Structure 1
Amino acid sequence: MTLRLSRRHFMGSAAAAAAASSVPLRASAATPFTMQAAWINDAEFAGYFLAMDQGYYTEEGLDLTYLSGGPDVIPESTIIAGRADLALTTPDTTIKAIAEQGAPFKIIGAQYQKNPIGIVSLVESGITSPADLVGKTLAVPPVNVISVEAMLKINGIDPADVNIVPYAYDPTPLIQKEIDASLDFTTNVPYTIAQLGGEAASFLLYDFGYTIYNDTVVVTEQTLADKRDELVAWLRASRKGWVENNMDTTLWPAKWADTHFAGTGRTIANEEFFNEAQKPLMEHPDGIFAMTEEGIEANLKALREVGIEGTREMFDTTLLDEI
């Protein structure tokens, strides 16, 4: 089975990714269990790092192996190959694989209620909504063009009225005003722009109709059948880690400078910014990983805009009732 890479994180060099993804991180416990992360070690995965260091997986009877991601890692492929029990993915790639390739996946939770991807610009550009992009030059990674075009159409804008150019994961052209805006992670890149002397403005695609989750927790149907108890244990320990992390988003990043964050090339101040910025995108009254019927339908509706036909049956919310 071939799955296309559609991971779209920003501000990480290939060297940094390799350094961060070369060694699995392990917490000692009874039952072996492996998770595949979606990207290099950064604040996006802080709750899992905290749960590992505090022994929450051990308390749940899991011997956790944590596999970092990176630009060459396709999380879904890791679980298909049996190298991991679950993976963090984006719902567009997962649902596309189920719908078009018959991949035996189930989505059992969502880390981000709102996808952090958004349009980033300089404050002075005055770009605060999709309408402001008309006549402007917008840099977008090729894998994300379809999502941006869907967001524009949802807001009554002809994509032809926006000059969409390739994006090379570097905010320098934005700072130098060679482009007007770019598609970036709003939780991270504004910090980088500030360090380069600019003042960033941003808005989420989610807030303008492209309503999809991110870092969806995905398993194979076989794993769901065979390791249900372990999956519930992982969800419970991970939620505990995220709750503790979100109580003080500045407390833990510095502790990981020489461990989880070693070799990424980012500053701890950057990770603290990221950790705080992502907090409101993750929290939900029903708890971390929640997936409501309204949220699921919003995902399916948004994906239909890009030609991906998913169904409710691709999501399993029953494990969340047990944590």
Structure 2
Amino acid sequence: MRTPRWLLATVGAAAAVALAACSTTPAGRQASGGSSAAPGALTPVTLQLQWFTQGQFAGYLAAIDQGFYKAKGLDVTIKEGGVDIVPQTVLAQGQADYAIAWVPKALASREQGAAITDVAQIFQRSGTRQVAFANKGITAPAQFAGRKVGNWGFGNEFELFAGMTKAGLKPADVTLVQQQFDMQALLSGEIDAAQAMSYNEYAQVLEATNPATGQLYKPEDFSVVDWNSDGTAMLQDAIWASTDKLSDPAYQDQTTRFVAASIQGWAYCRDNVASCRDIVVKAGSKLGASHQLWQVNEVNKLIWPSPAAGAGTIDPAAWAQTVGVARTAVNADGQTVLTRDPDAEAYTNDYVTRALALLKTDGVDVVGAGYQPETVTLNPGGN
């Protein structure tokens, strides 16, 4: 089987690490968890994000801003991601202590030899959507037949192909279009259905002006296919740790504290959406303030309410569905994400269970059973 493009990206990851200009690691400080701290001092920890600074990562930024990491004895540096950075590879190469990565992509890297373990499943639901203008009559995967369907590729496309397969469609039944990481092709009419994240690209169409009215587009102008409802969703943002270092009691303890503070950051963002928007903007996001408010609000929907056991818990059924799609969904190149089931060390609930116990002792609501999202008004261009 040919090596997929989204795995070939890992080949250049070592160079990408060296080019991670957005890293804020102080000079002379080790990025890996092997550095030792004096008694009573904060332990330096580096987290690698999978994309640029935005509301998708608000909980980690909030944990720094609100002092949650410091309260757990950690001095956390966040390394921004980017187009050429593969976070799970950065972690596997020892250039970060933890990484945020989608489960199928990280499992593909693990199958190729990256010793990484999912220690907290932050996003409990998929944020991937397929968006079309409502007048196209596309409300289900079966209606992609004969249409121009955009997708980003690079491992982001497998929910789409799983949904098409479930609907009885083959790749040849649609015209597949390599989509840029925006919605311009949809808005211009070049494609009929576009890939979008609920917290990012979907907002972009609602921030655009409808030429027929001179006003911003409204949700009713579009139809949205949600892979969660279709039953082909895959788990996305998770906290990954070094499998090898998890044999070290000090790293085990550090992992528990890191996961606890991270979840506390997300609980803060659940209850303080506008504050977390401000934290993200202050951290250097290039996106507008209303767009970031939308992002934090929509990301909260992927986390809360969490399983009864608490946020970050890895649901075996959701994991099994993700693995099933990764093993059976075939993209236009005839490739699957995985060629075999991941081994038993690919994920563990041990650390998140301990982390949740710490948070419950501190009185933190780790389930959010009564969670209600806010209503966000988007401004033109997301400003």
**TM-score range normalised by the length of the shorter chain:** 0.7 to 0.9
Q: Which runs of 5+ in 2 are unaligned?
A: 1-5, 11-19, 27-40, 210-216, 330-335, 356-383
- 1:216 corresponds to which residue? 238
SS for the counterpart of 1:64 is strand
Question: Is residue 261 of structure 1 aligned with residue 284 of structure 2?
Answer: yes
Cα distance in 2 for partners of 1:312, 1:155 equals 30
State the distance in 2 between where 1:211 and 1:108 align.
20
* Deviations 1:302-323, CA, capped at 9 Å, x for gaps: 2122331223611111112101
Number of residue-to-residue matches in the alignment: 305
1:202 aligns with 2:224: yes
> 1:81 is matched with which residue?
93
> CA-to-partner distance for each residue in 1:243-282, whole Å, 9 max, x for gaps?
110113223213443x2134x1x11100111111122211
Q: Which amino acid aligns with 2:127?
A: P
1:126 is matched with which residue? 137
For 1:247 and 1:280, the matched residues in 2 are separated by: 12
Partner of 1:95: 107
1:142 matched to which residue of 2?
Answer: 153
- List aligned pairs for 1:153-172, cutoff 5 A: 153-172=165-184
- Report deviation, 1:300: 1.6
Check the 8 A contact 1:119/1:182 in 2, yes or no: yes
**Mapping of residues 233-244 of structure 1, within 5 Å:** 233-244=257-268
Q: Aligned-pair distance for 1:294?
A: 1.6
Alignment partner of 1:225 out of 247, 252, 255: 247
Map of 2:31 onto structure 1: none
Letter in 1 for 2:44: P
Amino acid at match of 1:320: V
Q: Partner residue of 2:24?
A: 24
Match of 2:328 in 1: 305
Residues 1:21 and 1:116: Cα distance change in structure 2 (over 3 Å): farther
TM-score (normalizing by structure 1) = 0.87
SS of the residue aligned with 2:297? helix
Partner of 1:251: 275
RMSD: 2.4
Q: Show the counterpart of 2:65.
A: 53
CA distance in 2, matches of 1:88, 1:127: 33
Determine if contact 1:116/1:281 at 8 Å carries over to the other structure: yes
* Alpha-carbon distance in structure 1 between the residues aligned to 2:228 and 2:343: 20
Whose relative contact order is higher, 1 or 2, with alpha carbons under 8 Å and at least 6 apart?
1
Are the counterparts in 2 of residues 297 and 312 from structure 1 also a CA contact under 8 Å?
no
Check whether the contact 2:158–2:326 (CA below 8 A) recurs between aligned residues: no
Between 301-310 and 236-245, the greater mean CA deviation after superposition: 301-310
In structure 2, the CA distance between the partners of 1:248 and 1:225, relative to structure 1 (3 Å rule), is: same
TM-score, length of structure 2 as denominator length: 0.74
Q: 1:44-63: CA deviations, max 9, x gaps? A: 01111111011000000011
1:315 and 2:347 aligned:
yes
- Counterpart amino acid of 1:316? T
- State which of 254, 272, 275 in structure 1 corresponds to 2:293: 272
Deviates more, 1:165-174 or 1:305-314: 305-314
The percentage of counterpart residues that share the same residue type is 22
Q: Pick closer, same or farther for the CA change 1:4–1:117 going to 2, 3 Å.
A: farther
Looking at secondary structure, tell me which structure has more strand per residue.
Answer: 1
Give the match for residue 9 of structure 1. none
Asked whether the 8 Å contact 1:193–1:200 carries over to 2, the reply is no
Residues 53 and 104 of structure 1: is their aligned pair in 2 closer, same or farther, counting only changes over 3 Å?
same
